């Protein structure tokens, strides 16, 4: 990914100063987004730098790759982190969010079906538990309840989501689990406990 020629034929001293300015701006924008509980992708960073006329070319007509700038920042800073997914790589600051939270935001960028499926799988695998459908209505998922039901119906007709199962409790609570990581009897027992049993034992 090459930067457009915004500041052509900059001298060597200018380049050093500009590189520092660009690095500072990129660091700041990643942290700002993270403080607002958001990721920022490489493409978004590049677009922002272009808008602010902060990219430059050397005298020979070549420019520093944004990927290189970001890689250096991730390596040299204490907090800036990179996450790679299906789309443009994303960045966040660990001062403001954990990798776990950033991963959810990354999955969100990959679409609701993937978001739901991977979240259900991760809960089943790492925590050995089904998840209430309601969790997807909360931040950072922010999906409408009816939409989640629609997505689940779509997942049932789409390959790659065969392991995602929906169950309801005696109190009509809807729970989701992955058969790849959780045995059905265990999942049903856990869902009933989480929705009903623990309320009897508050």
Partner 1 sequence: MSGYGGWAGKVLRVDLSTGRSWTEDTIEQYKAYLGGTGIGYKVMWDEVPAGTKPYDPENRIIFAVGPLAGTGAPCNGRTAITTLWPTCWPIPLVASGHMGGQFAAKLKYAGYDAIVIQGKAARPVWLMIVDQKVEIHDARRIWGQGIRGATAAISEIMGPDAVVAAIGQAGENLVPMSVVMNAVSHSAGGIGSVMGSKNLKAIGVRGTGSIRIAGKKEDWEKLIKYHLSLLGGNNQHVVPNSPQPWAEFYDPTTRWNASRGKRWGAAGHLVDTGTCAPRETNRIAYRSNMAAFFLGDNAWKHTVRGSGCTSCPIRCHTMLKVPAVAAKYGIPAVGQNTCVGFLFGRSFFKEFTDGPKGMTALEACMVGMHLADDLGVWCNYGQLQRDFIKLYYSGVIEKKLGTREFKSYSWSKYEKGDPTFLFELLPRIAMKEGELGTVLGLGTGYMLERWGLSETEWGKDKDLAYWKMGHPKHHASEEAGQCGLLINLMYNRDSQCHSHTNFLRNGLPLPLQKKLAAEIWEAPEAVDGLGDYKPMHRSKARMAKWSLLRKELHDSLSLCNWMGPWVASPIRERGYRGDDSIESMLYKLATGDNKDREELDKVGERILLLHRALTIRGMGTKEMRLHHDKIPEWVFTDKSDKPPFTKGATHLDRNDVQVALDMFYEELGWDKATGAPTHGTYRKFGMDSVSAALSKRNLEPPA
Least CB distance to partner 1 at residue 185 (A): 3
CB nearer to partner 1: pick between 77 and 122:
122
Least CB distance to partner 1 at residue 72 (A): 25
Q: Please count the CA atoms within 13 angstroms of the CA of 28 that sit on its side-chain side.
A: 8
Per CB under 8 A, 135 contacts partner 1: yes
Write phi, then psi, for 85 (nearest 5 degrees): -135, -150
The stretches of 36-172 forming alpha helices (DSSP H) are: 42-51, 66-76, 99-109, 112-126, 145-156
Under 8 Å between Cβ of 78 and 28: no
Under 8 Å between Cβ of 137 and 148: yes
Least CB distance to partner 1 at residue 135 (A): 5
CB nearer to partner 1: pick between 56 and 136:
136
Alpha carbon distance 77, 54 (integer Å): 20
CB nearer to partner 1: pick between 56 and 96:
96
CB nearer to partner 1: pick between 27 and 123:
123
Per CB under 8 A, 100 contacts partner 1: yes
Residue 124, number of CB atoms within 10 A of its CB: 26
Least CB distance to partner 1 at residue 48 (A): 21
Residues that bind partner 1 (CB under 8 A): 34, 37, 96-101, 104, 126-129, 131-132, 134-135, 138-141, 171-172, 183, 185-190, 193-194, 197-202
């Amino acid at each position: 990914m090459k930067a457009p020629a915004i500041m052509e034929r900059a001298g060597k001293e200018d380049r050093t100063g500009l590189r520092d300015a660009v690095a500072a701006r990129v660091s700041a924008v990643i942290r700002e987004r993270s403080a607002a509980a958001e990721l920022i992708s490489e493409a978004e960073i590049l677009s922002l730098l272009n808008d602010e006329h902060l990219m430059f070319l050397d005298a020979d007509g070549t420019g520093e790759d944004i990927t290189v700038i970001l890689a250096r920042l991730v390596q040299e800073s204490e907090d800036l982190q990179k996450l790679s997914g299906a789309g443009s790589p994303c960045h966040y600051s660990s001062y403001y969010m954990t990798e776990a939270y950033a991963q959810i935001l990354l999955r969100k960028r990959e679409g609701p079906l993937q978001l739901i499926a991977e979240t259900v799988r991760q809960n089943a695998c790492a925590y050995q538990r089904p998840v209430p459908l309601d969790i997807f209505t909360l931040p950072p998922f922010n999906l409408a309840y009816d939409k989640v039901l629609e997505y689940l119906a779509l997942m049932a007709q789409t390959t790659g989501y065969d392991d995602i199962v929906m169950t309801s409790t005696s109190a009509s609570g809807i729970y989701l689990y992955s058969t790849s990581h959780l045995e059905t009897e265990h999942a049903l027992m856990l869902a009933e406990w989480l929705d009903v049993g623990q309320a009897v034992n508050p």
